Structure 1
């Protein structure tokens, strides 16, 4: 009836818009989203309550434990996918304990598994495979040959020098020299530094320079300890260069663990221990790019005091005109030397020859002289050539320790 009324009352020529029925849901979009979130929350709570995982959220490490029999496997490799889950730590411990007695050796590795809930510790011994090359590259250097173990003590970074039974590294590792002869004639010493970084140039210096030339190693490089060991095998005396703060630091940065004037004594000593552990068998330490540091007495004094306590000498390369190292070393009564002439300040054959001639003249005037150089090919060549005629000039080439002792007595 309503439709009939509408048709009669509608204007002629126009159709009546009939009302349309709309489908309405029994809930809104907001209500649907809230229901989904509630369902997710209930599911999560149910999983957390009824799933027993006491180590949930704890970091997990899977370690492959290779037993002695594994070495007989094809290609010497363990079967792929064999891993020791953290949940079986107790059984791994028992297995490792039973295997330790058979495979006890210096290259065994021990890991500690800590239970995240109870705090219980389980030690697991992993038998070594006899291959020392598996040691991580950042581990402390192994003991070098020809090193007296009594002159070393363990630090948190590795083995560092110590005085034992009156023996000091300065005396024990000093290169051989005819000191009686050196006391009667002018002597020169040459210290070639910056070694250890760049194996080729380091080997050139070791093999081409006379044994009486002292070699100074930085603590950096892929394996400075191995190169230092080779230098000692060729009867070179060695120094350890300690990176110290230059005036233009940090624009000119010597490298990691640099000793800084802005750090306290304890922090700098900790950094010193890191450097001391990088290699062994050195007679003393030297500054490396450290003009500001050696000129700051409150900074250099604790370092030299520690070096003296550990039986080391100190060599000042002479790059800092206002260095306080000499006065501090004298007060500590420690062996000390200072570079007089930088031989390759201008690295050309002519300039190097002139510097060597000046070094020779200074030795004749004062009785001793110390020159410094880097391991440039031209420097090595000119020094090696100059040494050949040195004895005929009435001057003796000696290791740094001999010159340091002579300078102290003169």
Structure 2
């Protein structure tokens, strides 16, 4: 009897052990705390976008030769408009456009192509002075984070509004472009998509990292653009036109020069030097667009803005040149250095 009971107990233990072995992961992994995963050694040098709260670690370098004209958080336009997402940044009410300086020509710069490269974006945010505004495509994945980081540095931000270009057979503006045979309702829907993406920005622009492609027949020069411009104005957004030929009729400003960033260092330096005012080229105001974003463009623009040549200008944010669009063409033509042609 004793041996029979013993053999029965041993058999039960064996069956229990086989049942446990058949389900080894059920209890252990479910209740095990998850340990932090360390980044591989190679990832420690990768620069990735940081939340706005960390931007204090990458503030722009001090500018000793150029002073911004009233660059404060309260001088930046507010985007507090209908249909703006509740998560958008709360920005201050815009002041009237600051008067351009009279002792030296005013220079405003917009660096286009921000966001496509995390590394180049971080370098640009760290090296370029705060009055230099940023141009961002609405198709950039982390656009909301980029806008917040830029505004926390006191920068203005202009989001490209995708529109049918003057040469649609050569340029693809993406799936949310206005024009291309859209109905007015479809264009309004695409505009709303862009407005949602641009929450917190200073304004919209027809300029991309490849320059102005609206002159001489782009969507922005057509009658269909008029209701779009009205909607932008109702959202308190400025409109940055890439050329006087765009015929801007809404509140904003117009670029006077384009600097190709995808070139060699010597050409960049020569084109920057050509901006300097002279007796034959007084240039009371310059709104310079730079793109695409490249290492050489960031470095040489940064060096030039901190060098002796920049003493000839007062660096200001683009909104300094804000007008209602009624006399934009005359003002921009008076300020042009080279007929608004690409440098």
TM-score by length of 2: 0.63
Moved over 4 A (4+): 143-150, 158-161, 405-410
User: What residue in structure 1 maps to residue 57 of structure 2?
Assistant: none
Matched, 1:74 2:31: yes
Farther off after superposition, 362-371 or 218-227:
362-371
Superposed, which structure 2 residues align to 1:8-407 within 5 Å? 74-75=31-32, 151-154=80-83, 158=85, 171=95, 179=98, 182-249=101-168, 251-288=170-207, 290-291=213-214, 292-294=217-219, 296-318=221-243, 322-324=245-247, 326=248, 328-329=249-250, 334=251, 336-344=252-260, 347-361=263-277, 365-374=282-291, 375-389=293-307, 393-404=311-322
1:354/1:404 Cα in 2 relative to 1: closer, same or farther (>3 Å)? Answer: farther
1:74/1:216 Cα in 2 relative to 1: closer, same or farther (>3 Å)? Answer: same
CA distance, structure 2, for counterparts of residue 148 and residue 276 of structure 1: 15
1:390/1:370 Cα in 2 relative to 1: closer, same or farther (>3 Å)? Answer: farther
Q: 8 Å contact 1:360–1:369 — kept in the other structure? A: no
User: What residue in structure 1 maps to residue 334 of structure 2?
Assistant: none
CA distance, structure 2, for counterparts of residue 287 and residue 362 of structure 1: 30
Measured after TM superposition, the shift of residue 253 of structure 1 is 0.9
Q: 8 Å contact 2:179–2:219 — kept in the other structure? A: no
Q: 8 Å contact 1:212–1:399 — kept in the other structure? A: yes
CA distance, structure 2, for counterparts of residue 405 and residue 223 of structure 1: 31
User: What residue in structure 1 maps to residue 336 of structure 2?
Assistant: none
> Secondary structure at the residue paired with 2:277?
helix
Q: 8 Å contact 2:109–2:288 — kept in the other structure? A: yes
- Cα offsets for 1:157-195 (capped at 9, x unmatched): x4598x99xx75x549x9xxxx56724431111111122
CA distance, structure 1, for counterparts of residue 270 and residue 241 of structure 2: 22
Q: Which has the higher contact order (CA 8 A, sep 6+)?
A: 2
Q: 8 Å contact 1:198–1:221 — kept in the other structure? A: no
Q: 8 Å contact 1:205–1:380 — kept in the other structure? A: yes
Cα RMSD over matched residues?
3.9
Measured after TM superposition, the shift of residue 205 of structure 1 is 1.6
Q: 8 Å contact 1:244–1:288 — kept in the other structure? A: no
Q: 8 Å contact 2:80–2:236 — kept in the other structure? A: no
- Cα offsets for 1:32-83 (capped at 9, x unmatched): xxxxxxxxxxxxxxxxxxxxxxxxxxxxxxxxxxxxxxxxx61479xxxxxx
Aligned length: 255
Q: 8 Å contact 1:192–1:373 — kept in the other structure? A: yes
CA distance, structure 1, for counterparts of residue 224 and residue 285 of structure 2: 29
CA distance, structure 2, for counterparts of residue 379 and residue 260 of structure 1: 32
Measured after TM superposition, the shift of residue 397 of structure 1 is 1.0
- Cα offsets for 1:104-131 (capped at 9, x unmatched): xxxxxxxxxxxxxxxxxxxxxxxxxxxx
Q: 8 Å contact 1:144–1:280 — kept in the other structure? A: no
1:377/1:171 Cα in 2 relative to 1: closer, same or farther (>3 Å)? Answer: farther
Q: 8 Å contact 1:196–1:227 — kept in the other structure? A: yes
Q: 8 Å contact 2:105–2:285 — kept in the other structure? A: yes
1:226/1:362 Cα in 2 relative to 1: closer, same or farther (>3 Å)? Answer: farther
1:349/1:225 Cα in 2 relative to 1: closer, same or farther (>3 Å)? Answer: same
> Secondary structure at the residue paired with 1:239?
strand
Instruction: In structure 2, list runs of 5 or more residues that go unmatched.
Output: 1-29, 35-50, 54-72, 332-343
TM-score by length of 1: 0.53
Q: 8 Å contact 2:262–2:294 — kept in the other structure? A: no
Measured after TM superposition, the shift of residue 238 of structure 1 is 1.0
